Amino acid sequence: MKKYNVAVVGVGVVGIEMLRVLKQRKFPAGEVRVFARSERDIEVDGEKYSVKAISGQSFKGIDFALFAGTEGEKGAAVTYAKDAVKSGAVVIDNGADFRMDPKVPLVVPEVNPKDAKKHNGIIANPNCSTIQMVVALAPIYKKAGIKRVIVTTLQASSGAGKGAVEQLKEEVSSIASSGFYNLHINASNKSMPQQLAYNVFPHIGSFAECDYTNEEWKLVKETHKIMHDDKIKISATTIRVPVRTGHSESIYIETEKPITPEAARKLLAKSPGIIVMDDIKNNLYPMPKDAEGRDETFVGRIRKDPFVKNGLWLWVVADNLRKGAATNAVQIAELLIH
């Protein structure tokens, strides 16, 4: 089997997960190089990696460069992606910088795999919440069409990075040590705009047009691009919840054609990358604690709206670090080698 040299840029929670996923999915990697702003040694699941300081010359001989997601003008992707492409690598970027570029495909392999072949050196990974939503919606869209989507996301701390996970851990520990008498804690590690332990807050990203956050607009604009349909009416609310890993989404859809919950269950159960868990008599439904460490998108609580024709509810859960980031990126690379 042909081997492909891979670079992973970034050693935060997503970069670490990329290294893990490459190994677990047995991607045919030859040399694996790891880059960050500074040199260090790291260990992932017992395997040691020597992290090198990144530069524009780092990508010689690399086939795939997976950027873990540092965004913005000074971020790794904006700074070095073009250098990687010039060196002959295909860049798969987990950040937001290239997602809405009309020249850059935005790909979820279960939904729009053909778009990956249209790249000019860079392919974008969608936002974590968008990925799991479109995986669940695509089969229904193809079968019955979708006119409208109303989604509320409940997003884990790891979606905001390692610092947010540490903030949650510190806050939970502090509250527990106080005997639960003090639920207002000021963590020394403050990565989030609000306390997260024993709390939820509807603020992910920065506030933008119409007082929606940019995280909420990602769900709208990225879904339109991935599904090649900007006529779908999408409204989103994104909420941070005190969960370590695993995003949950309550999704309401109105379909063009009628589809029963039973038909939707059967359709989703045979669709790639989806596991249906929908047995309410036995309290079986998707939960983030069970999705953590898994690559599938889990769907349950499939039920019709008793008041609106063609209205359908879904409950969708996935590991935001894996399917929502690292696994999707590696799956894109797998598409390109087959």
Which residues belong to the active site? 128, 247
Backbone φ and ψ for 336, nearest 5 degrees, come out as: -75, -15
